[in-house]
Chain A
Amino acid sequence: MTGERFRIGFLPLVDAALPVLANELGFAAAEGVAIDLVRDMTWATVRDRLLYGHTDAAHMIAPLAIATTLGKDRPAVPLAVPFVLGLNGNAVTFSARLAKETGLADTLGDPIRIGAALKKVADARVAAGKALRFGVVHRYSSHNYMLRYWLAGVGIRPDQDIEIVVTSPPFAADALAAGEVDGICVGEPWNSIAVDRGVGHIALATAQIWRRGVEKVLAMRETVLDERRDAIEALVRALHAAAAHFVEPGAAEESADILARPEYLDAPRDAVLRAITDRIRLVPGGEPIHYPDFMFQYREAANFPWRSQAAWLYSQMVRWDYMAFDDAEAAAAGNVFRPDVYRAALAGSGAPLPGASSKLEGGLDEPIGAGSTQGRLTLGSDRFFDGRAFDPDDIETYLTELP
């Protein structure tokens, strides 16, 4: 028992589930840590509270942890990520008008075919002097990078053929309804809420763009990690136990009850339940469809902070901030993810521990056994929609080959 308290900042999103459930269901107490959750409405505030000690750790979009470490837009403060809070779970939602214009079906379609339809509309809008506008949750978000990766891959040049702006998740449905944006890429339950309100149609799950894309992380100041290493390892164990529970088929109802509460997501329980059971209602009034691994948790060591995932995010930061690749920055970005802490925390627990800290991303077509120092590890397909693979040891070549 360490008897340590952690104040953890979060935004009302389904993937804040693990710290919430670790707190509510006793996984934190079992590891001797107490969690106080601090709810905010913007990532800027989550970041500021973390940097100035209002919180000890935070639920954070992974690229923001890297941008903060590298000192983009503000003086650098090194952050550390010992645990990934989940993979994917986001969607691209079109306004009702754009859904009609692109002939969106009531099933999840092929990203390339939808992209081709979207390109026609985007080109027509540019010609008419009113470019399409999409909202993402933050400039330094996986949403921004996944959306841009897809758009560029289908021939729509972000910032030239389409405008990308920032729309906070709780206001995304309003922005769609008001016609401020033609599409959004946000996390759940905010796509589902837009559909339920009749203002949006879900076009794609981000898992269709990158099958195993890294999403939220547990971030903290590096100095806090160094000072409270033992307690943080206990916190990692608590979150890992919460993740194991979260994917139990019988747990979804109770998880949805808890997450929907006013102090957490303050959102309709049914929308939350659909997101955590991979059942997505794509069109207003439609029956939810089952899309396996819409939001990916726990299995395949999904919470392991692969440095190669941080490296991919850095590659996209270079790409879309239109900056030069820098070896030192790439190394610093990769080092934000701390597989060493994850391994130390879970050593002896039976949890599968990858032997490597970095891997080829997007190289697997089908499940394959992977090297582990503990437990049996199988990794499923992690393809990007365009079939490209990312080699973290050669980011520069990768960048030159991207459209």
Chain B
Amino acid sequence: MRIAIIDTSAGRAAVISDGLRDAGLDDLVLVDTSKPLVAQIEAAAPEVVLVNLENPSRDLLEDFFAMSRALARPIAMFVDQSDAEATGAAIDAGVSAYVVDGLSKHRIKPVVDLAIRRFQAFSRLQRELDDAKNALAERAVVDKAKAILMKRRQIDEPEAYALLRGQAMRTNRRISEIAEAIVTSEALMGDME
């Protein structure tokens, strides 16, 4: 079963194709979204097409699938009528699946389920990455604020940190917020002396 993946995120496309390959589905075509899509799909003649929900080419793709100008069999969006939740879950995960006419449901379902899990896994990874980036940025700003306090007040690092923490607790704010305020005011007023 040939599966084409059209995803504006190359990273997510890789995560999905790895997952499909692990499940033994290795007839995969990764469509290059920077090049005209229709010609690539015509050449690949896939039986299943996975497209990210927010892909800006979906109207164009649906029109192409419906017209089936070159494909032997029409392709339609996979909508599982016996199990409305399945399609809903795909939409929630951010994936839309299209399948050729006549492909049996028990062959499609595992592919769609796997794509959903991979999309969700990718979103989770993305969130974790964002969190990690934020944490790093926060640590950097706290370090800067400590350096400013140490210089200005002629104190050592533990004392500077204690000052930050004390202020955060008194004002019910996060340490990184206090640190940011210090760095900002230093940038604005640091050379006033």
Contacts and interface: CB of A to CB of B under 8 A. Distances in A.
Contact of A137 (B59, B64, B87, B88): B59
Contact of A168 (B54, B60, B79, B87): B60
Contact of A74 (B53, B55, B58, B76): B76
Interface stretch (A48-56, A255-263, A303-311, A351-359): A48-56
Interface string A32-44: 0000000011111
A138 B63 CA distance: 8
A401 interface: no
Residue among B54, B57, B60, B66 with the highest chain A CB neighbour number at 10 A: B60
Interface string B50-78: 00011111111011101000000000110
B92 A52 contact: yes
A139 B92 CA distance: 25
Nearest to A48: B91
Nearest to B38: A165
Interface in A151-207: 165-168, 170-171
A171 B88 contact: no
Contacts of B96: 44, 48
A268 to B, nearest CB: 20
A308 B25 CA distance: 50
B77 A54 contact: no
B92 A41 contact: no
Contacts of A52: 87-88, 91-92
A45 interface: yes
A287 to B, nearest CB: 33
Interface string B154-179: 00000000000000000000000000
Given A73-B77, A75-B81, A43 B63 contact: no
A168 B76 contact: no
A136 to B, nearest CB: 9
Contact of B76 (A42, A73, A165): A73
B56 A73 contact: no
Interface in B142-162: none
B3 to A, nearest CB: 20
A354 to B, nearest CB: 33
A170 B59 CA distance: 12
**Most chain-B Cβ atoms within 10 A of its Cβ — which of A40, A43, A53, A74?**
A74
B178 to A, nearest CB: 31
A45 B91 CA distance: 9
A42 B56 contact: yes
B59 A168 contact: yes
Contacts of B64: 166
Contacts of A42: 55-59
A188 to B, nearest CB: 18
B56 A44 contact: no
Interface in B125-151: none
Interface string A45-65: 100110011100000000000
Contacts of A54: 91-92
Contacts of B76: 73-74
Contact of A44 (B59, B81, B92): B59
B86 to A, nearest CB: 11
Contacts of B66: 73, 139
A40 B79 contact: no
B56 A170 contact: yes
Contacts of B54: 40-41, 45
A163 to B, nearest CB: 10
B151 to A, nearest CB: 40
Nearest to B91: A52
B57 A168 contact: yes
Given A48-B96, A74-B76, A165 B63 contact: yes
B62 A73 contact: yes
7 contacts: A42-B59, A44-B62, A48-B96, A75-B81, A165-B63, A167-B60, A170-B56
Interface of B: 53-60, 62-64, 66, 76-77, 79, 81, 87-88, 91-92, 96
Given A44-B96, A166-B62, 15 more contacts: A41-B54, A42-B57, A43-B59, A44-B62, A45-B58, A48-B91, A52-B87, A52-B92, A53-B88, A73-B76, A74-B76, A74-B77, A138-B63, A168-B60, A171-B56
A-B pairs, top 9 by smallest CB distance, nearest first, are A166-B63, A44-B58, A42-B58, A52-B91, A41-B56, A42-B59, A52-B88, A166-B60, A139-B63
